[in-house]
Chain A
Amino acid sequence: MDRIYRSPSGEVRALQDVTASIPAGVVTALVGPSGSGKSSLLRLIAGLDVPTAGRITVQGHEIGRASARERRRLRHGPVAYVYQRPSDNFIDHLTVGEHLDLASRGGATGVDGAELLDALGIGGRGDHLPDELSGGEQQRAAFAQALATGARLVIADEPTAELDSISAGGVLERIRTLSDRGIGFVIGTHDPDVMAIAHGRLELEHGRVKGSHPDEHPADLAPMSPIRWPGHDTPAWLESEVRELVVGLDAVSRSFPHGDEVVHAVREVTLELRSGEMVGLVGRSGSGKTTLLNLVAGWEMPDAGAVDVPGGTAPSWSDLAVVPQRLGLMDEFSVEENVRYPARLAGTLAEMAGLAGDLIERLGLADLRRRYPKETSLGEQQRTALARALALAPRVLIADEPTAHQDAGWAARMVDVMRDATTTGTTCLIATHDRELAPTLDRIVSMADGRIVTRA
C-alpha cells in the first residue's frame, strides 16, 4: 500500500509498499521515528484517508474501495480514533461529559462515562470545557471519548505523549483491561510503556515497514508510582568554576482566575540557572511547568517576586529563545525558512548560515527543508522549532516538552544538539515528561502544585 500526498512544495511519499497485518482484539504498537508514516497509517486504518495505491482492509472493509458512507459507518461503529494533538479531539463549547455523551450516542453504547473518567483520573472534570483542562487532562479525556464509542478497534496517535507517568499509567491500565475483553488497539507511539504492554509491534521507517512483530507478549506492568527522576552528580565543570548566573527567579508567584476559583499556578518559586546548564523541569500535568516557563520567557508577569533574564523585560532571540509546546512555526515559511527566520530578522543570515545548516542536518530536516510545516509530522515540526530556537546560539533556551513526539533516537539527537549548545554557553531549561532525558540533564527541578518540590 502507498500513500502519497501532493502539496505546493511537491510530493510527499508518506507510505510506500507497506504490507502488514494487525490482529484483531490485541494491542499493537505502531512505532518508528517521527515522520516515518505512523500517523498516515493510523488515519488509513480509521478510514479517515484512502491509500493512493494498494489495499487496506479493516474488519472486512476494504478502505480504498469503500465509499465515504461505508468509511463513515466504520468510524460510527466498530472503529474509534484519537487525534495526535489532544485539543483536536474537542468541540470547544461542549463539556467533557457532553463529549462522552456524543461519543456514546446518548449512552447507547452502554459505556459508563463517569466511571471511565474516574478510571483515567479525571473524574471531576465531566462538567469542564476543553479549554479548562490541562494538556494531559485533554489527552485522557480524548482517549475516554474513543472508549465511550464502544468501538471494537481503537486507533490512537500518541495518546500518552503529553502525559506524566501516573496519568499514562491510568491510560495503559485501561487499555490492558479492555484488551483482555477483546477490544483491539492500534497505537502510534514512542512511549516504551506503551510498547511494553503491546501484544505486537509494527515498525515503520521512511514510510516503509522496517519490522513486524505480531507475537510479542505484553510485558508485565510494574506498579504505577510517581517517577523518581534519577539524580546524578553535579558536573565537574560546575564545581570547578563559578558559572555566570543567567536566569534568576526570586520567590515568584503567579495566579489567575479560573471561573469562580483562583488557580495558583506558580507559588514562591526561587530558581537560579547558570551559564551552560541543562536543567529539566518535571512534574505532573497542571503542576505549573508551562506557567513557570512563560514567566521566564516574559509572556506572563509575576504577581509577586522577580524574574531576571538576559535582555531584561525585552529579551531578544539571541538572549532567550523558546520552543513552545504549540511550536508557533510560521505556516507561510518552509522548514528551512523557519530555521533561518531569526537570523534573517536579526540581519545575520549570512553569518549564521553555517549554524542553521548544521542544525538542519543534525536534526534530520535536510530532506524537508522546502516543505511547509503542515506537510511534516508533529515530531519533525518539533525539531524544526528547536533548530529555529538555537539558530542564533541564544544565552537561554526554554523548551516545553520538546521531545514529546519523538522516538528515542530523535529525542537523543535533540538532547545532543542542546547539549552542544550548552558547551557554547547556552543555558537550557526543558520542561519534560520524558524520563529518557533524565540522565542527560545537569539538574532536575520537580514541580507540584506550583511549587518546586525537589531539586536534584
Chain B
Amino acid sequence: MTADPGRGAPLRSHRHPLWRKAPGRLFHHPVSFTALAIGALLVVISAAAYPFFVSASQSELLTSGIHAPTVSRYAAGLTYRSTLIPLDEKGPDGGPLYQERGTAFADAAAASPQLDPVVAGIFGASVEVTLPGGVVPASGEVSGRLFAGDGALDHLRVISGAEGDGVWLPDIIAEPAGVGPGDTVELRLHGVAVPVTVDGVYRGLYSLPSVGYFQPFNDDFYPAGCFECPVPPQPIVMDPAQLLRIATSLGEHVATFAWQAPVRASPPLTMEQARAVSRFAENLLARMERHGTPLGQAARCCGFWRYPGGGFVPAENVFRTAMPDIVKTVEGRSAASQAPILVLSVAALVIAMAVVAAAAAFSFASRRVEAGVLTARGWGPGAVSVKSALESLAPILVGAVAGFLGAAALIALVGPNGQVDAAAQMRALRASALATIVAIAVVAIVSGASYVARHERRERVARAVLWVPWELLGFGVASLLYRRLEIQGGLVESGGLLRPGAAVFLFPLALSLGVGILAARVMVFALTRQRTAGRRTGISAWFMAERRLSSSSRLTALFLVASTMSLAVFASAQAMASSLRATVDAKAGVFVGSDVQVRIGLLSEPDAAGYPFPVTSASRVRDAGAIGGTEQRFDLVAVDPATLEGAAFWDEAFSAEPLGTLLDRLAPPAPGAPLPIVVSNGEGLSFDTIDLANQHVPVEITGRTSSFPGTSSEDRPLVVVSRDVLETYFHTGGQPNPLNVAQGATELWIRGPASEVLATVAELGVLPLTTLTADDVKDIPFIDAAIGTFVMLNILGIAALALVLVVAVVYLQARQRARVLGAALSARMGMSSALLRRSLVVELGVVLGIALVIGGLVGIISVGVVVPTLDPLPTVPPDPLILRPWWALAAAGLALTVASLIGGALAARAARGVSLGEVMRAAE
C-alpha cells in the first residue's frame, strides 16, 4: 500500500461511474424522480404563468377595448377624414383630389400588417325626400343625407329589400313616406329633383347603438347633447358613383370623405401589436404632416386647410385613432391587477421552490447509505451538491418542459381569453430557464446542507433552528399586516389607480404560518405526552398512528404546517373571492336596481305585456325631504309592489323578512291612515311623519332593511313607498306629484342578460333616456384584479394541498416499503390488513383533520379582517358582505377524507405487496 494522505487524485474524476452515471441515476429512484419533476413543474408553471397571464389578460382587455360599442375596430384603427372636398378638385397627380387622397392614405396604411384594407365613406348633402312629382308625404317633410360607403350595407340593420342599383332609405324616412323596396322617390335640393329607386329600408342609426363603421359620422347621425333634440337626417345609402352623380345633378360640389383602416378582425391583436399600431399611427401622422413629401401633399393633414380658390373655409382634415387611448386604458387596468398577481406568482414560486427543496431532501434521505459511503470516503458537501445537481438534471428538465407547456395550457384553458404574444412567450421562456437553473441550484444547496446536517454532526445547529419560535415571526408579521390593513385599508394607490395591497394577500399567509407552527408544536407535545403516559393494553388504529406520528415528530410537524398553510390559503381565498363577488353584486344590484336600469320619462308607460324579461318601474328622488321634525334628509324610492319582487335585485342578507312580505305591507292603507313605508339604511331611526314636497306626510314604518334596490347613497336613509299610494295621497290632497322634481328620475329595472335586455328594450315602447347595467357598475378594475387574484390564490391553495397530499401518500408508501419486514412480522403477530390500513388512514387523517380545522379557522378570521378593507364602492350600500367558506371547507374535508382513505389503502398495499422472500434473500 502506498498511501499519500490527503494528496490523492481528485475525487471529481469525470471518468468514474459515480459521475458518469449521475445524470441517469434518478431513473432508478422513481419516487425521487417524480417528486423532483413535480417540483420543477410547479416552479416553471409559477415562473411562466405570470408573463403568459399578463399577456393573455392584456390581450383580452385589448379585444374588449377594441370591440367596445363606442370604439370598434374601425375607431381603433386609423381614420382619415376630410370635410368638404370639392368633387372637381384635382390632386397633385392630376386625378380627382378625393381619389388621390384616399389612395395615398390606403397605400400608406397597407404597410401595417395589423390593419385591414381601407374602406371609404362619402357623406354628402342633406336632401329632401319626396314622392314622385314632388309630393310631400302626408306625415310631413322628411330629409336624409347622401351617403356611400364600402360595404355599408353590412353594417345596417336591414328591414326589407335587396341590393340593387337604387338607394336604401332609413325607416324614419320610408315609413312616414309609405315607400318600400321597388318604389321611386325623389331627392331634392336647390329645387332640383333626382328620382331614385328604393332598393330597401333599414333601421335608422339614431335608434340603435352606435356602429363602429359609421364612427367618422357619428356626430352627424346621432342626436347629441340633448334628449329632446330632433333626430338628425339619416343616411340615404347608395353606391359611391351614384352619390357623385346625384350630388352633381343636385348642384352640390363638395362632400365629406372618410377613409378607415380598421384593425384586423382576426386573429385578435396582441398588446405588442396594438402598441405597434399606435406607433404606426404616430409615424404615419408625422409623415402626413410633412407637406413637402408626396404623402403629405396627397393626404394633407391636419387642421383647417386653405381652399385653392383663396381664403379659409371651415373644412378640415382629421386623422385619428383610438388605439393609444385603448392601449393606455389596458395598461392601466392591467397594472392594477399585475401587482397582486406578481405577489402571488412570487409566493407560488417560493412554495414551488420549497417543494423542490423537500423533494431534494427526500431524495437525499432515501439514499442515506450512499451518503454514508461518501462520508466515509471523505467527500465534502460541495462534491455532494454537484453530484446531486447532476442527478437532478433529468427530472428537473422533464418537469420544466412539462411546466412550460402546462403553464401555456393552464392559461389557455382557465386563464384570460386572450392571445399570448411572442414577446411574452420569450419572457416566459427566459423566466422558465432561470427558474430551472435556480431549482437545480436549490437541489444542490439542499443536498449539500442535508449532507452537512446529517453526516457532519451539526445536530446542535439543527436543534437550535427547530427551537427558534418561528410562530412568533408569523404572528408578528400578521400583526403588522393587520395594523396596516386597519390604518391604511386594503387598497393602495399606484399610478393613479387603486389596487389591493400586498397586505391583503400576505395576511392569511402570515397568520396561517404562525398558527400552523404553533399547532405543530402543540401536537408534537401532546403526542409525546400521550406516548409517555400511554398505558393502553390493546391495539388499535389510533395506537399505531399515534406511535408513528410521535416517533417522527419533525416530519409530522412539517406535514401539519404545510397542510395548514395550504388549507388556510384555500379557505381564505375561497371566502374572500366569494365575499367580494357577493359584495360587488349586491352593490351593483342595489345601485342599478336590477340587472339593467333604463331611465325613462316620469309619465312614460312601458308596455311590458309579452316582454320576455321581468320589468318593474320605480321612481327615485334623491334628497327628497326630511324626517318629520328633524333635519335628517332622506332619499325616496317609489316602487310598484306588484312587479318589484320579480324584477329587482334582492339579497336575503338585506332583511330578516322576505321581500314579498315587505312589499305586501306597502299596500294602500285605509282612508286617513298613514302611508306605509319601508325604511332602508336607517338603523335606529324611528318616526311617524316625513316632510315631502312641503307636506307633512304621516307614515307608518312597516318594515326595515339594511339595503334596498334603488339606494344611491349610504349617507341618507331610504324611504320606500308604493308609487300608486304616494301619488294617490298627493293627488287626493290636490298637491303636485312629489316625484316630478328635478332631482327625481323614473327607471325601469329589468332582470335578464344585459345584452339581450338592451337589444330588446325598444319593445317596451318607451323612449330610453339612458341605460345602465349592473355589469357597468361592477366593471371596477381593482375589484376585477382582487377577485382574479383571489381566484389565483385559491388555485394555488388547492395545488399546494394536492401536492401536500401526494407527497404525504408517496412518503407513506415509501416508508411502508422500507418497513416491509416490520409489517410482515406484524402480520405474523396478528396485525390484520384492515387494522394496518385503518392505522395509516388515521395517521394521515389526524394531521389533515387538524390542518383543516386550523386552516378553516384562519380562513374565517382572514376574511373577517380583510374583506371590510376592500369596500369597492364605499358610498353604495350594503357594507361588504362576509361569506364564510363552509361549503369550501366541507368539500375540502370530503376530499381530505377520500385522500386519507386512498393514501392509507395505497400505503397498506405497498407494505403487503413486497415479496418478503426477496427482501430476506438479499440479506443472505
Contacts and interface: CB of A to CB of B under 8 A. Distances in A.
- Chain A's interface size range is 35 or more
B824 interface: yes
A103 interface: yes
B829 A341 contact: yes
Contacts of B916: 294, 299
B372 interface: yes
Contacts of B16: 98, 101-102, 106
A22 to B, nearest CB: 17
A73 B463 CA distance: 26
A232 B22 CA distance: 56
Interface size class for chain B?
A: 35 or more
Contacts of A337: 547
Interface string A208-221: 00000000000000
A183 interface: yes
Contact of B18 (A75, A94, A350): A94
A330 B826 contact: yes
A329 interface: yes
B828 A316 contact: yes
B452 A149 contact: no
Interface stretch (A27-35, A107-115, A193-201, A415-423): A107-115
B414 interface: no
A346 to B, nearest CB: 5
Contacts of B825: 322, 324, 328
Interface in B375-407: 375-380
Contacts of B7: 77
A75 B2 contact: no
A103 B377 contact: yes
Interface centre among A110, A290, A294 (most CB of B within 10 A): A294
A322 B828 contact: yes
B673 interface: no
Interface stretch (A45-53, A244-252, A434-442): A45-53
Interface string A365-388: 000000010000000000000000
A87 B1 contact: no
B372 to A, nearest CB: 6
B830 A331 contact: no
A150 B3 CA distance: 5
A329 B551 CA distance: 13
A349 B6 contact: no
B922 A300 contact: no
Interface string A397-411: 000100000000000
A74 to B, nearest CB: 7
Contact of B378 (A72, A152, A325): A72
Interface in A295-320: 299-301, 315-317, 320
A105 B18 CA distance: 12
Contacts of B190: none
A453 interface: no
B3 A77 contact: yes
Interface string A323-364: 011111111110001000110111101100000000000000
B776 interface: no
Nearest to B548: A332
A329 to B, nearest CB: 7
Given A8-B528, A290-B920, A345 B539 contact: yes
A289 interface: yes
Interface in A74-133: 74-78, 80-83, 87-94, 98-99, 101-103, 105-111, 131
B821 interface: yes
Given A8-B553, A94-B17, A344-B539, A152 B3 contact: yes
A390 interface: no
A175 interface: no
Interface string B901-924: 000000000000000110111111
B830 A78 contact: no
Given A91-B18, A94-B17, A300-B917, A349 B537 contact: yes
Contacts of A344: 537-539
Contact of A178 (B1, B13, B376): B1
B369 interface: yes
Given A75-B377, A109-B8, A92 B456 contact: no
A328 B776 CA distance: 70
A342 B829 contact: yes
Contacts of A427: none
A181 interface: yes
Interface string A37-49: 0000000001011
Nearest to A148: B1
A328 B824 contact: yes
A324 to B, nearest CB: 6
Contacts of B457: 48-50
B750 to A, nearest CB: 67
B661 interface: no
A317 B6 contact: no
B822 interface: yes
A99 to B, nearest CB: 8
B133 interface: no
A451 B857 CA distance: 68
B320 interface: no
Nearest to A147: B1
Contacts of B3: 77-78, 109, 149-152
A181 B1 contact: yes
B755 interface: no
Interface in B331-363: none
Given A135-B923, A324-B920, A68 B373 contact: no
Contacts of A50: 457
A270 interface: no
Nearest to B831: A345
Contacts of B923: 135, 290, 324-326, 400
A286 B4 contact: no
B94 interface: no
A350 B374 CA distance: 48
B21 interface: yes
A315 B539 CA distance: 20
B822 A131 contact: no
A97 to B, nearest CB: 9
Contacts of B819: 330-331
Contacts of A330: 547, 819, 822, 826
Contact of B830 (A327, A332, A345): A345
B369 A87 contact: yes
Contacts of B550: 8, 332
A228 interface: no
Interface of B: 1-11, 13, 15-18, 21, 25, 28, 369-370, 372-380, 452, 455-457, 459, 463, 528, 537-539, 544, 547-548, 550-553, 819, 821-822, 824-826, 828-831, 916-917, 919-924
8 contacts: A102-B18, A134-B924, A150-B4, A151-B5, A289-B924, A290-B924, A324-B920, A330-B547
Interface of A: 6, 8, 46, 48-50, 59, 68-69, 71-78, 80-83, 87-94, 98-99, 101-103, 105-111, 131, 134-135, 147, 149-152, 178, 181, 183, 256, 265, 285-286, 288-291, 294, 299-301, 315-317, 320-322, 324-333, 337, 341-342, 344-347, 349-350, 372, 400
Given A48-B375, A78-B5, A342-B830, 15 more contacts: A69-B380, A73-B6, A75-B376, A76-B11, A83-B376, A92-B370, A98-B17, A105-B9, A135-B923, A285-B924, A291-B921, A299-B824, A346-B830, A349-B537, A349-B538
User: Which 3 A-B pairs rank lowest in CB-CB distance, beginning with the nearest?
Assistant: A76-B378, A77-B5, A328-B821
